[in-house]
Amino acid sequence: MRSGDLDNRRTAGAKKEAMQAGSRLHRKIQKRMGSSYRPEVVLKHRVREDMFEILVEGRADGIITEPAGVVIDEIKCIYMDVGRLEEPDPVHLAQALCYGYFYSCDNGLDTIGIQITYCNIETEEIRRFKEERGFDDLSVWFEGLIHEYVKWARYIHHHGMRRQECLKELPFPYPYRDGQKELAVDVYRSIARKRNLFIQAPTGVGKTLSTIYPSLKAMGEGHGEKLFYLTAKTITRSVAEDAFSILRKESGLYFNTVTITAKEKLCIMEKPDCNPQACIRAKGHYDRVNDAVYEIIGDVDGITREKVLEYAKRYQICPFEFCLDISNWVDGIICDYNYVFDPNVRLKRYFDQGEPGQGYLFLVDEAHNLVPRAREMYSASLIKEDVLMVRRILKSQTGAGKVLTQLDRCNQKFLDIKRAYGSDSGEGVIHRQVLGSDYELLPDVNLLALQLMTMFGELESFMNENVEFGDRDLVLDFYFAVRDFLYVYDRLDDNYRIYARLLPDGHFMVRLLCMNPAVNLKECLDRGNSTLFFSATLLPIQYYKELLSGSQEEYAVYAKSPFPEENRLVLAASDVSSRYSRRSAYEYEKIADYICRIVEGKRGNYMVFCPSYQYLYAIEGILARRQEEGGLAFTWLAQKNRMTEEEREEFLRSFDGEREQSMAALCVMGGIFSEGIDLKEDRLIGAVIIGTGLPQVNTEQEILKDYFDEHGGCGFDYAYQYPGMNKVMQAAGRVIRTIHDKGVIALLDDRFLRPECVALFPREWGSYTVVNRYNVGQAVEGFWNRF
């Protein structure tokens, strides 16, 4: 029943029916209506069409029985000014028309009144729209509604039957690699038992097919209804698309999927602005989108970004909203973590409605990335100066008086916190310093949050009544920041820390920082039957269990590597370090010696991972000098900060083709080239990793460290050691990609030889060789001479 334009100028609150406030107002309105008003009347109606018997049922808010006739009353509580309504929403009217038809059928009425009652949640102002409808008119309308519904029901029924038949008989597309069948069996068992599973899967196991295939088989046996394949990066989305494509081509898979792409990457506009005045496709979007959805799900099995754009252009609709609607009708969704976990972005049609246990299966690829991403999703901050900026913008706007008053009060609450900053006068306040930057842990922000709630309500009303004014986009950004802050505030518990900080630019920030996101993630995961967390780097497993699920009782497996251990040489340097205290021209020269001796050991392509851009520039300078002096027997190139898509592709093309000399690519550890890059066989034969990858000491890492010291005494490990080693393992994982690959992994930092680091080395590395810069060349030469 949706129709009309797509329009983002109304904030979400204007459209949504606020459930708690709405329920209270419903009861209040119903009590005022007198004895002729029957509230909450259950109505049902059965109808047969085609092969279906359909039961439609609901509960009418009110039925008014008067001498003049019967009236169906449907109450909707909203935030927007009811005086601005010109007609009832078609969806709300359709609901009341259904009740009118059911009641007329049951009671033999020729006509019935249909009334939509809108009530503003804040002012309690009421506006009613009332009309009479004849039974014949209602019958024709309802038959048309059911006829349209049956078209979709027929699709779901036939598609579902064919899908289940296919999945039960689905064969694996290739001969199993060593360890692959065992992994698939573990996945199937976990799903069948409705348990979560953590999978440490070395590169080359084929973890994408090894998780998707048994998940599909489990769905064929009734252990899941919808599959979500979740990724952190665009490149891993294409890997999932390829896996489904292989299963369709090689195994005859009947299972449709859609890849959800970010709005910015789908939008035809320079900047997304979804309203009929700014975008031609927003006008009448809802009049055309259903036909587009029905056509694409009938035509295409693997609905990629390109297919979404193609059909959206054909029907002149918004590709992003089109993509979200397609997701209702497909069997699998490939998308970023955000669309499941982020409270602001997640697909509300799946995760804000209904009960837990919806039959979803979640496949979380590169799951090590979910820890920092989830922390960010469930944290929020506000800056005092933004309150003043919004006040300046709204000062000249008519009707902004109430908002301005509340903004002044919010600013005062910020001032109160700022004035106490550094004095240690507040109860429970702790003032600390990190590398010359100070911060303050706060016990609560209750007074600030209460004031923000009041201001937020006024700002929302103002924004909905003023859809056009100068710098509205800045005010809207602030509106969303406040909304996020209040959302996180409602979730504050022992998994959070609150801190205030003076930023380098002099601005004053209050931040609600999520320490352990497991509780928040669990709310989403509980919507599903089972979740698979898999990555080539999930060590130590207890760290990921605690931060992703909150339970050490979860199943976990270590997939066996199919690659011969002798094809990999792991070197650990004993005489260099990337510690800040050791960084000097002399130390950089020693590192450069290592790079030269490893890269010159065999002609080929190498990656050198530096701890920072500053470090990279220092090494680059030494290599440039040695090149000028004629002492360099290889070429090199360097990753640039903020590379465009074209620059990234050009960088990776440097690894293609034959070359007369070796090539060393200087990269930053944890950057765009240390993960998700698949350079097989001779395209990459070595990775030189400088440093243990420890995050820089800063405010938030120190707060994390202190928090986990209080909760188990493992603060340094959780804040620094484990995230650092994860980056090292990801960088090392670029080397051995297929069963034919051979390569060198060099760990240049004496800290790698500490027991706590060695304990985190992956099992498939086997033994490692301790070297110094004088014998490293000999070790490399000996390795390559074996082949």
pLDDT number for residue 104:
97
Query: Mean pLDDT throughout 652-659?
Result: 90
Task: Say which residues have a Cβ less than 8 Å from residue 535's Cβ, sequence separation at least 6.
Answer: 199, 200, 201, 365, 366, 367, 368, 369
Q: Which of 145-159, 354-368, 532-546, 707-721 comes out lowest in average pLDDT?
A: 354-368
* In the predicted structure, residue 254 carries a pLDDT above the cut 60: yes
Confidence at residue 235, expressed as pLDDT on a 0 to 100 scale: 75
Whether domain 178-223+334-375+517-562 has CATH 2.60.120.460: no
- C-alpha distances in Å from residue 312, one per residue of 53, 257, 272: 34, 17, 15
Please give the span between the terminal C-alpha atoms of the chain, in angstroms, as a whole number: 68
Model confidence band, residue 3 (pLDDT cutoffs 50, 70, 90): confident
Give the residue-averaged pLDDT of 571-599. 96
Q: What architecture is domain 565-784?
A: 3-Layer(aba) Sandwich (3.40)
CA–CA gap between residue 509 and residue 484 (Å, rounded)? 15
Q: Classify domain 12-150 by CATH architecture.
A: Alpha-Beta Complex (3.90)
Predicted local confidence at residue 12, as pLDDT: 53
Alpha-carbon distance of 115 to 93, in angstroms, equals: 8
Question: For 48, how many CA atoms within 13 A lie in the half-sphere containing its CB?
Answer: 1
Each residue's pLDDT tens digit, 67-76:
889 999 999 9
Lowest mean pLDDT among 80-89, 104-113, 150-159, 226-235: 80-89
In the DSSP assignment, the letter for residue 179 is: T
Structure tokens at 558: 């270590």
Cβ atoms of 401 and 410 closer than 8 Å: no
pLDDT of residue 14: 45
Residue range 380-514 in CATH 1.10.760.10: no
Under DSSP, is residue 234 helix (H, G, I), strand (E, B) or coil? Answer: helix
Average pLDDT of the residues in 452-471: 90
Q: Tell me, letter by letter, the H, E, C secondary structure of 660-705.
A: CCEEEEEEECCCCCCCCCCCCHHHCCEEEEECCCCCCCCHHHHHHH
The residue with tokens 């039925």 is 63
What are the residue boundaries of the structural domains of the chain, listed by start?
12-150, 178-223+334-375+517-562, 380-514, 565-784
Contact residues for 204 (Cβ-Cβ < 8 A; gap 6+): 177, 561, 562, 563, 736, 737, 738, 739
Q: What is the mean pLDDT of the chain?
A: 92
What is the model's pTM?
0.90
Residue 356 confidence class, pLDDT cut points 50, 70, 90: low
CA gap 516, 374 in Å, rounded? 9
Q: How large a percentage of the chain has pLDDT more than 90?
A: 77
Find the farthest-apart pair of alpha carbons in the chain and give their distance in angstroms, rounded. Answer: 105
Give the model's confidence band at 425: pLDDT under 50 very low, under 70 low, under 90 confident, else very high: low
Tokens of 383: 């800056």
Q: In this model, does residue 17 exceed pLDDT 80?
A: no
Q: Please state, in angstroms and rounded to a whole number, the distance separating the CA atoms of residues 146 and 48.
A: 9
- Least confident range from 225-234, 328-337, 503-512, 676-685: namely 676-685
The band of 15, judged by pLDDT with boundaries at 50, 70 and 90, is very low
Question: Is 353's pLDDT higher than 80?
Answer: no
- pLDDT tens per residue across span 565-583: 899 999 999 999 999 999 9
| Arithmetic mean of pLDDT, 329-338 | 96
Higher pLDDT, 766 or 597: 597
Stretch 249-254: mean pLDDT: 97
**Higher confidence at residue 740 or residue 647?**
647
- Whether 565-784 and 178-223+334-375+517-562 are alike in CATH topology: the answer is yes
Average pLDDT estimate for 593-612? 97
